[in-house]
Amino acid sequence: MLPSRKDFLLTMAAAALARVKMGAEPVAHKALAVVAHPDDEYALAGTLYRLIHEQGWAADQVVITNGEAGYRYSTLAEAFYGVPLTAEADGRAHLPAIRQEETRRAGKVLGIRRHYFLDRKDLGFATDAATADSSNWDRPALLAILTDLLGRERYDVLFTLLPTEQTHGHHRAATLLALEAVSRLPSSRRPLVFGADAQDKTEAPVRFAGLRDISATVSPDPVLVFDRTQRFGYHNALNYQIVVNWVIAEHKSQGLFQMDAGRHELEDFWLFQGGSEGFDLLDELRNKLGAPMLHTSVR
């Protein structure tokens, strides 16, 4: 069940008190990722890893559904977890807890500070992911939770997935919810809001200007590009695809997702108009992500 606003705020208060007692180190900046399913963090995994582990950021993650409608591709995970998963009834019974734990393990790789699971049922889709139904989501309750979280934590950056017409309907719905929550904040307290999309270098870059007013972007081209293949380490033998593959491997119940290992060299980010106008932070991100600007700049 969706947590009540009271329960949600009590959880946040307890977490804040624990940080005070532990004498938590100050962080450079704070980011929030709002996604529809476990494993959606894949689209910005390299960026999150670099910001958290190498640039001193803190990041939290909101996951709206448990992704249990993905049971069809869980064949290999049945032996790993020791439970039946590929029949719908079995998948819906076992996958919510499994996928939450997978998300926590992937979050440990990336350094995610806290996960918020909002437990909306994943209705899935028939043949076209773009038509995935989110009508069962309690939008007012979700908006209240997101608005409270954004208001209390004062995040500098909010990451979502790019809400194109072709993308999964839940991805689009989650991003529009996040943008609406941001719009409820005073303009001085809004974060920069980015829509992320993972792409291959050989692909023509997506151009996205928005679906409606609330999702309008400052430019149809990405304003940030993180190159997962940038090399570092001993003899420059390593790159961030390794980290992304670690994240993929943690989501074992999504067998088809494993086929994305080593794919999508770029993480592209579009900036939405409704967020902060803190372009100094945008410039800082460009510098600290260490990736080339491969597409048209916003400035």
Q: What is the pTM of this model?
A: 0.88
Rounded to whole angstroms, the Cα distance separating 188 from 16 reads 23
Domains of the chain: 5-289 (3.40.50.10320)
* pLDDT tens, the chain, 299 aa long: 555 655 655 555 555 544 444 445 678 899 999 999 999 999 999 999 999 999 999 999 999 999 999 999 999 999 999 999 999 999 999 999 999 999 999 999 999 999 999 999 999 988 889 999 999 999 999 999 999 999 999 999 999 999 999 999 999 999 999 999 999 999 999 999 999 999 999 988 789 999 877 999 999 999 999 999 999 999 999 999 999 999 999 999 999 999 999 999 999 999 999 888 778 999 999 988 865 444 444 43
Rounded to whole angstroms, the Cα distance separating 156 from 201 reads 29
Written as one letter, the residue type at 83 is V
Rounded to whole angstroms, the Cα distance separating 164 from 299 reads 23
